[in-house]
Chain A
């Protein structure tokens, strides 16, 4: 059974307001639901969503992300999270006991971290936290930048795609919601995974990608 993916552009009618509710990437005008983004239309039971094909990362509370320290302040760090807004990591939100003014001893400018997005206020001021177990400072490996909108595809339904990637490479792979991916492993395997991820990024909007990727990974494993 072939699943038809409908590509829509801003201003395309995607549904009727009476029958469905406007979901992500859509807006309502009078009796119609329109797409506001370039993307793939997904018809759910109650909602119509548009999966964007491009666009910057829009931070959401609870997202796990990879950030880069851009400034050390007296009791916090400013972090670049690849979003329209820099985020703040306060000393209260890290697992270490940091003295006033000693922030640079724990994380310096240029360091990369895995962290979680905490509170976001109405003017989009973003707080980060490193308190949970998954968070850490990244010490080795590489960080690959991908389009944030492609992240769900790289992770796959219930993690199916990323499980495939890990299986065929024996690499440590962490995908940040903000389009940054940490990969650690043997040099050849790392190159291989980078190539695979770039392929997924390019073909994210196509059907049957997971099985094609499995094929690709099997063949290239030699």
Chain B
């Protein structure tokens, strides 16, 4: 799959006129659709459609040993699969750098904001804690996996029920959660900086920035990608846009904070 020069020229030309290929404004998201609790076998799940990008996040919980440096806290483990199903450009095999970066960035966004109250997931200090596995399954790739996965992960956590009954240690209850940080991803091509890049825009992008903000608007996680650069002024513009957009996304996710519907079983 080669990106034609014509395509890159066209996108840059449009950008100079303040336009994007799909008619969006520079700081506009594509339509977002979230469906929660759709996988019965999972303790929590959510499917997110961000434009034509589609990702599925599944949460599984198992009992395991804590990390030695945090003996009374539960464990969070995030993995992403860029399966060939989602794009002709994804190859089969173990996760490579793109998938690993994606998983780690989404993980950091959730970990650094202490979304999951890991201290409430300890059964026996140093011996037994809950391990929360978050698996991000990409189903259709049309750009901006970072935001799609982050939304899917948060929505899935929102629906997660701890399977105490299956492990015979009590009654099932929702996963204890705190406020979610929201991530916004931007790319730069030519002189334009756009929010929520589609695949076309990602293919011609020189640089990319993902920024995660919490409820107070404080910065929780950042990741810059690709080989191009950003000026300080550009970073400032990005953070300003992020602050506004994050509020909109937060509304979409709905306010949860520990309250989640009990998943329909069976």
Contact = CB atoms under 8 A, between A and B. Distances in A.
Within 8 Å by CB, do A and B touch in the complex? yes
B2 A80 contact: yes
Contacts of B6: 112, 138, 140-143
Interface in A179-209: 187, 191
B190 to A, nearest CB: 16
Nearest to A195: B23
B20 to A, nearest CB: 11
Contacts of B9: 140
Contact of A143 (B1, B4, B17, B23): B4
Of the four ranges (under 10, 10 to 19, 20 to 34, 35 or more), the interface on chain B belongs to 10 to 19
Nearest to B11: A142
A110 B10 contact: no
B2 A68 contact: yes
Cβ-closest 8 pairs across A and B: A110-B5, A68-B4, A70-B2, A142-B10, A112-B4, A112-B6, A68-B2, A110-B4
Contact of B5 (A70, A112, A141): A112
A143 B1 CA distance: 15
Size bin of chain A's contact surface: 10 to 19
A215 B1 CA distance: 37
Nearest to B17: A187
Nearest to A139: B6
A214 interface: no
Interface string B244-265: 0000000000000000000000
A39 to B, nearest CB: 23
A186 B10 CA distance: 12
A23 B8 CA distance: 41
B240 interface: no
A109 interface: yes
Interface string B141-181: 00000000000000000000000000000000000000000
B141 to A, nearest CB: 16
28 contacts: A68-B2, A69-B2, A70-B2, A80-B1, A80-B2, A110-B2, A110-B3, A110-B4, A110-B5, A110-B8, A111-B4, A111-B5, A112-B4, A112-B5, A112-B6, A138-B6, A140-B6, A141-B6, A141-B10, A142-B6, A142-B7, A142-B10, A143-B4, A143-B6, A143-B7, A187-B14, A187-B17, A191-B23
